[in-house]
Amino acid sequence: MTLDETWDLIRDLNAEAHEVARDEWEQADLLEEEGDLDGAEEQREEASYYQASTFRELVDELPEEEHQSILYWEKENKNFREEFNAWWGQ
């Protein structure tokens, strides 16, 4: 797969993971609107963790060719590596 195709793939996976974690993100926004900034920050951390774990699961479920393309570009392209690792999480 080309770099552009692989970028599109991980962007789509991250968007899907974000959608799965949507309720958690919305709860953080609600807490912030209510003035609970500490609670909102804690909720954002939870939402981010949930989104990242979902992203990892989606990547792990990919066909071998797509998985190998991600690994290749993660090694070969600094910008791709940084973005992918940010979405992968801790």
Number of domains into which the chain is organized? 1
Confidence label for 90 from pLDDT (cuts 50, 70 and 90): low
Residue pLDDT, tens place only, 36-66: 999 999 999 999 999 999 999 999 999 999 9
Q: For residue range 60-89, list pLDDT tens digits in order.
A: 999 999 999 999 999 999 999 999 999 998
Give residue 15's pLDDT: 97
Query: What are the backbone angles phi and psi of residue 16, rounded to the nearest 5°?
Result: -65, -45
Whole-angstrom distance, CA of residue 24 vs CA of residue 45: 10
- 77: containing domain: 3-88
Q: What is the pLDDT of residues 13-42, one digit of tens each?
A: 999 999 999 999 999 999 999 999 999 999
